[in-house]
Amino acid sequence: MNRLLSGVSAGALLLASGAGTALAGDLPGKFEGVTIDAKLIGGQQYEKLYERIPEWEKLTGAKVNILTKKNGFDIDKELKSDIASGSTNWCVGWNHSSFAPQYTSLYTDLGKLLPKAEIDAFVPSTIKSATIDGKLEMLPRAQFDVSALYYQKSLYENADNKAKFKAKYGYDLVPPDTWKEVTDQAEFFANPPNFYGTQFAGKEEAINGRFYEMVVAEGGEYLDKDGKPVFNSEAGIRALDWFVNLYKAKAVPAGTTNYLWDDLGQGFASGTVAINLDWPGWAGFFNDPKSSKVAGNVGVKVAPKGSSGKRTGWSGFHGFSVTENCPNKEAAASLVWWLTNEDSQKLEAAAGPLPTRTAVWDWDLQQAANDPYKKEVLAAFQEEATHAFAVPQTPEWIEISNAVYPELQAAILGDKTSKQALDEAAAKATQILQDAGKL
């Protein structure tokens, strides 16, 4: 994360700066009698933040009416339906850096609604990624996402495991640093149907994103420099074979092709999975005895390398946006600011998610000083952030994902070879880009 923070100094934030903006006065402002309709992401790691909404309502005199709370893939479908039908007169919505290029007609420019000093308080790279065609489409919440490897420490400390693993594979059993080692260890630890070596989200953009980062780690590209799909390469086949072979070996749960993020989080917390590539937002959940059977037994390290020597590092961040058709844009922008301000980011970061405000990074590091687990988490994710890379910045990314992931599933389930699946997926992706006039 040092790279992401370069050139930025932390310090007190000036709420009244940014002359000429609609909210140049003190935030959060007064909006008596206004109701803000919102469509938000739901799920374990996102919910705690929304408990701050009543405080904003009390301070501003406005009310928030949450119309929708769904996972990102389902809310994406709803937002697209709203755009198609012209039903976009609600005000505050979920956004994500991987999905944002699709929503440029839906969301307004927050740079015209919020003080410059508040915008400048965010890590510059996140603001750059949240700005599309010169328009600040969202404010990032404390949900910068890049995945590191969680593992059950006791499995690696067990002398019997060490001896048997060394005898079978010829090297010491230590937390894996390559995806080949993950494969070996996942197969070694697996004891289905009661215990599994690892797991992965197997549908929607979730599996396509994981496949994408594995292609990169294998030395390949998803789209080439001309924007043409080229993931049906030798590197792509090696990447897909990783998923296929683990499924075939029963080292992952049989239902993994239907899993999304909450399924993975609950799975690792249940104590039935040895190794789990996952987001920072789960760190606190995994180590809390109220929610996790592996609390006190969780190790965290940087994501492994592929055969090219590159580490996986698919990354992005969640945020909040204001619609162009919102009748009360200033009030909506105030709510977006509230949900991403320092106090909100501290609330989220305390549970593990990575902040996107510079000052909160400084605070987070201070909080970890006397907390060995938190220190380990931040060290792993700070290192992993140096390997982070975004999805291809094309508005068709999600449409491509929706076409590609059933082909990936077909290979994992054994209905097609990896080459057949990738050739067909690449043909579908190429057609999408041709129809969009990109090729």
Tens of pLDDT, residue by residue, the chain (439 residues): 333 333 332 332 223 333 334 454 589 999 999 999 999 999 888 999 999 999 999 999 999 999 999 999 999 999 999 999 999 999 999 999 999 999 999 999 999 999 999 999 999 989 999 999 899 999 999 999 999 999 999 999 999 999 999 999 999 999 999 999 999 999 999 999 999 999 999 999 999 999 999 999 999 999 999 999 999 999 999 999 999 999 999 999 999 999 999 999 999 999 999 999 999 999 999 999 999 999 999 999 999 999 999 999 999 999 999 999 999 999 999 999 999 999 999 999 998 889 999 999 889 989 999 999 999 999 999 899 889 999 998 899 999 999 999 999 999 999 999 999 999 999 999 999 999 999 9
Q: What DSSP state is assigned to residue 47?
A: S
Q: What DSSP state is assigned to residue 353?
A: P
* Main-chain dihedrals φ then ψ at residue 70, nearest 5 degrees: -135, 170
Counting beta carbons within 10 angstroms of the beta carbon of residue 63, is it exposed (0 to 12), middle (13 to 18) or buried (19 or more)? middle
Distance CA 247, CA 413 (A): 8
pLDDT confidence of residue 211: 98
Q: Beta strands of 90-215 (E only): which ranges? A: 92-96, 131-132, 135-136, 139-146, 148-152
pLDDT confidence of residue 22: 44
Q: Beta strands of 148-271 (E only): which ranges? A: 148-152
pTM of the model: 0.84
Element (DSSP H or E) covering residue 420: helix 418-435
**CB neighbours of residue 2 within 10 Å:** 10
CB proximity list for 407: less than 8 A, separation 6 or greater: 416, 421, 422, 424, 425, 428
Residue 286's alpha-carbon distances to 184, 267, 296, 317, in angstroms, are: 24, 10, 9, 21
pLDDT confidence of residue 393: 82
Which two tokens mark 43? 């799920």
Distance CA 69, CA 66 (A): 7
Distance CA 283, CA 143 (A): 12
CA-closest candidate to residue 234, choices 184, 307, 315: 307
Q: What DSSP state is assigned to residue 21?
A: S
pLDDT confidence of residue 125: 86
Q: Are 262 and 245 in contact (CB under 8 A)?
A: no
pLDDT confidence of residue 44: 85
The 10 Å CB-count burial string (b at 16+, else e) for 75-103 is: bbebbbebeeeeebebbbbbbbbbbbbbb
190: left (phi over 0), alpha (psi -120 to 50) or beta: beta
Question: Going by DSSP bridges, is the β-strand pair 35-41/139-146 parallel, antiparallel, or unpaired?
Answer: unpaired
The 10 Å CB-count burial string (b at 16+, else e) for 334-345 is: bbbbbbbbbebb
CB proximity list for 293: less than 8 A, separation 6 or greater: 269, 270, 271
Q: How far apart are the first and last CA of the chain?
A: 35
**CB neighbours of residue 55 within 10 Å:** 12
Q: Are 267 and 274 in contact (CB under 8 A)?
A: no
Q: How many H helices and E strands in the chain? A: 18, 10
**CB neighbours of residue 7 within 10 Å:** 5
**CB neighbours of residue 193 within 10 Å:** 9
Counting beta carbons within 10 angstroms of the beta carbon of residue 194, is it exposed (0 to 12), middle (13 to 18) or buried (19 or more)? exposed
Q: Return the bridge partners of 354, or none.
A: 144
pLDDT confidence of residue 382: 87
CA-closest candidate to residue 279, choices 344, 339, 351, 217: 351
Which two tokens mark 152? 């059950």
Distance CA 276, CA 263 (A): 12
Strand, helix or coil for residue 333:
helix
